Structure 1
């Protein structure tokens, strides 16, 4: 099943993708996913980020097999860092190099704490694409990565949540201005999705709608204002966003 959040009648709604139409549903959490009977065309629909998290958690040290030699480590991104397909990624002036990273993201479906490898999968709503935008120069001077990864709209997510996915080999490709970089598979990650969920829930509770970024197995690429960047997968579609210069705010007290 493919789940999306869509702008409809002035507000966000959940829907199931059914061919060329969207079937609107109640929130797809335990006890939800009830069809409303309303249908809207998929073409022209404005898709939103397919999650409303309280927590967005990323995995450091998880880009390849060599990372198993390093201790597991997680980082937090603000919920307001999330944005949807087609939205702009704003880049402030003077922060140096900014990279895009294509990742598999997990959307949590039910409250999760102290998960085991056996019960982790049933706490997952599904999977989607994420772009973990990172200010590379700031990352070097910020050991917690809060500023380097926490700007508004620096975590595009979407286009949909796939509720059934073979996680053994999810191919991911990052493209900049329609030029694809080298593709890679989640099979190359140092720690797989289940290991990531077990680790994160060993010290914090994840709830319905929370998002976990699992790490970038492939090439990262520098982005600049004016670029178009996409993360894509044969199984999860294409998540495309524009890159824009963040407007410079006038100094306080400046003449209007």
Structure 2
């Protein structure tokens, strides 16, 4: 497996590949292949950013049986969109809008597209996925229930934490996913429990949206989700990827 990051260095955003806790700078995003520069920095000395800057942020709802409750299992992936401006990186605060009342964390495995995908067959999906990372599909439940669309509920600023790294070569069909709130495990599942598999999700989405390198798909959240309040700290851990940690603050 290979791990890629985006990080801030000397006031600019850089791409890098991680090797033995050292970041080797890349001259360009890695989706079309690595082009390393001569620059190296210790990983502990860089501030990590969200590991991609997607043009599209797609998500799948109700994709674990443990999250269905009394609802019937869907017959096809239930897609919705988050805004690219909702994406934030590790340790960046999740800011709860002042008029929000019921904000929940949703830990998820997130796919990162590496090659343009349009009407892709399931058996070819692996050619179009660059890697996986961890994500938090932060959601305001009252807005999700009452608004005409889920735009506020899912797409508000900071409602899409992502990171800490993109990992290639991971066995995405069976990875452990855990969410912790203030150190307590509140979600624990494996991606083998997804109702719709990763090939099914990407093939289905690519029928309707041309997926570009760097775009992401949140694949769904398991179990019961946890309510967030200012002062909390939420962590999403994906096996082989690492821990995406974000504090929670009151917004404006």
TM-score norm. by structure 1 comes to 0.92
2:228 pairs, out of 211, 223, 227, with 223
1:54-203 alignment to 2 at 5 Å?
Answer: 54-64=55-65, 68-203=73-208
CA distance in 2, matches of 1:30, 1:233: 21
SS in structure 2 at match of 1:160: strand
TM-score norm. by structure 2 comes to 0.93
CA distance in 2, matches of 1:235, 1:76: 26
Q: Alpha-carbon deviation of 1:68?
A: 4.2
SS in structure 2 at match of 1:187: helix
**Structure 2: gaps spanning 5 or more residues:** none
Q: Deviations over 1:46-90 (max 9, x none)?
A: 000001111000012312286644442211111000000000010
CA distance in 2, matches of 1:233, 1:30: 21
Q: Alpha-carbon deviation of 1:219?
A: 3.3
RMSD across aligned C-alpha pairs, in angstroms? 1.5
SS in structure 2 at match of 1:59: strand
Q: Deviations over 1:11-41 (max 9, x none)?
A: 1111111112101112234544111121001
- Contact (CA 8 Å) 1:57, 1:74: kept in 2 or not? yes
Instruction: Provide the aligned length of Structure 1 versus Structure 2.
Output: 247
Q: Deviations over 1:103-153 (max 9, x none)?
A: 000111111100111211111111000000000111111353111101101
Q: Alpha-carbon deviation of 1:188?
A: 1.1
Question: Runs ≥4 in structure 1, deviation > 3 angstroms?
Answer: 28-32, 65-71
